[in-house]
Structure 1
């Protein structure tokens, strides 16, 4: 990617070598690099551990903040987003990573769609994309710095607030998952509207996915230049697609994201960061093989949900990709004895699987988890993930 092409991106303030180097100099040195070493494929002395949605509704301090601030107000106010990101790090000294507090649906917002967060329903997009003519309602040129600059500010604030304790992860939603929300108008059990696009309007669907991917890539670049030390792409609805649909529709924009991010960072003389793909439910052996080659996909780590065995996954994908996951989120309701037994059992499997391993849940932590059970989970991972 040429310098002229870089200048055409919507992140001119951040896409500047001198700027990001000065930002990086302002951060305290990193004291715990376990996550970053595992993401490079190193078999670390124990598995680094963090939890998806670790800054969230199971924490009383989070709920206290939410009493006086709406969800998207929290996402879009850098000081609040940073404070929420730091809450689990301040509470749990055994976490090995922090992930910025935000939401994947800020991308549809930046593209011109209204997104509401309703307490009883979750995310609601009141004017979904029902046919290709609705694409005209989307912003044709998204200025990522203007629309999503609050996230970059939050990341820089958080890096300073972390004081080098653990690395900071940036993220975005995957194009297919975001398209599903944009077409369904929210969550769905059947995905009738979004999947019908793949049959009725396949070319328009690919165009929409590519447009989303471009915004996602620039969002991720901005997060790295603002201070994110690793990235994750959440494909929460990957399991709703057939293996053919995943290969035909979901994977190409994912590859576009990773390649664009790495190309821009390389052109800026940035050392780059590892990128994780969490494709929940995309567990067919053919799909796992397809998404597991970093030389093809550009993703260094593959996040697994709790429905697969890491030993079997290693047989499918080999050791060319690092793995993250995949404890059952409901193990946190199992009581101290149940949690410990399951972490011991699953950790034994992970060590047998070999290769780089980042411990995590197979999806996000749920709201009714007791904070002390989360703490015990972390203690057990530290104990049982140690290499022999």
Structure 2
């Protein structure tokens, strides 16, 4: 069976639907919880795989990506899984070299320097260039055997643009931010090219079996409200509308979509939430849950937002913080998570305490 032909009835029935029920605003017996980067370096079994395989080899080998995705699901009482991959597979598919260097992180050795470099980028056939992600999703969905839903994801255009210009992660994003003022039209051209690939990529993931999608705007903290509206929200909205339109045209079931604008101001979060392009808005650890709920209203599901560093406290304090977080957000339209990805040396016992605390309310 080709992955593009797969529909929900081709997979085992879902046993735990808390995550999807919360996304739709339905009643749940317990608040669902999952953790960004939940299949990461804090797991000894992942470290073992990394000792024998480079990072992108794991992403590009469906059996390894599946095995890695399932690691936290086997170990913890989580309510959703997220496919093991990376946001930088899109720049790779567009023709840029991306390396994962030990102790450094992702590096793009030949970044875009000025607008003429945009022409170096190709418009990939995602069904070919990123087929390994689709195959990993299909294999993982089948191997999960209905235990929990499977989330697919992508980086948002602005975040990916930042990597493509900076050549990797950067504490100031100065080169990318300068483009917004120096080359506004060329910036929109680049963001549109990235958006076109993202749309095809997310549709591919749903067709392969993803039951929800998350769009990571990991560089949202570098945009004020005006820049967010112009260079982030505009493309967030377009991605959602075009993905849903393509799925509808092909008579494929819709899936809930999550927008995670890390570091965005509360005004920007409110703009995104009240547009209702996304069923779920992810919040980072700096956002106050009570204010967020008051600002976005009762008909959007919120996700987040414990400080990942809180997992270095005592197990008792972690459980208490998790319970307090749930009580502030409320059990209706809420999915528990961290305020960003779990850190590499987080104790296993702390993760267990966090999940216990969430599920105890």
TM range (shorter): over 0.9
Q: Does 1:270 find its partner at 2:229?
A: no
TM-superposition CA deviations, 1:364-385 (whole Å, max 9, x none): 100001112211211111102x
TM-superposition CA deviations, 1:43-97 (whole Å, max 9, x none): 42221000000001000000001111000000000000000000111111x1000
The aligned counterpart of 1:42 is 26
Q: TM-score, normalised by structure 2?
A: 0.97
- Corresponding residue to 2:170 among 176, 182, 188: 188
- Corresponding residue to 1:380 among 336, 357, 361: 357
- Corresponding residue to 1:347 among 326, 329, 352: 326
Distance 2:42 2:309 in 1: 13
Distance 1:314 1:344 in 2: 17
Distance 2:253 2:231 in 1: 30
The aligned counterpart of 2:344 is 367
Deviates more, 1:43-52 or 1:218-227: 43-52
- Unaligned residue ranges in structure 2 (runs of 5+): none
How far off is 1:270 after superposition?
1.3
Counterpart contact for 1:292–1:320, Cα < 8 Å: no
Q: Does 1:356 find its partner at 2:333?
A: yes
Q: Does 1:313 find its partner at 2:292?
A: yes
The aligned counterpart of 1:203 is 185
TM-superposition CA deviations, 1:257-279 (whole Å, max 9, x none): 11110000011111200000000
Runs of 4+ in 1 over 6 A off after TM superposition: none
How far off is 1:25 after superposition?
3.3
The aligned counterpart of 1:288 is 269
The DSSP-based 3-state class of the residue aligned with 1:292 is helix
Distance 1:46 1:363 in 2: 22
Q: Does 1:250 find its partner at 2:232?
A: yes
How far off is 1:294 after superposition?
4.5
Distance 2:62 2:37 in 1: 18
The aligned counterpart of 1:58 is 42
TM-superposition CA deviations, 1:75-126 (whole Å, max 9, x none): 000000000000111111x100000000000000000000000012100001
Distance 1:380 1:232 in 2: 24
- Unaligned residue ranges in structure 1 (runs of 5+): 1-12
How far off is 1:174 after superposition?
0.3
Counterpart contact for 1:294–1:321, Cα < 8 Å: no
RMSD between superposed Cα atoms in Å: 1.2
**What is the aligned residue count?**
360
Q: Does 1:124 find its partner at 2:111?
A: no
TM-superposition CA deviations, 1:337-362 (whole Å, max 9, x none): 211221222222112xx640000000
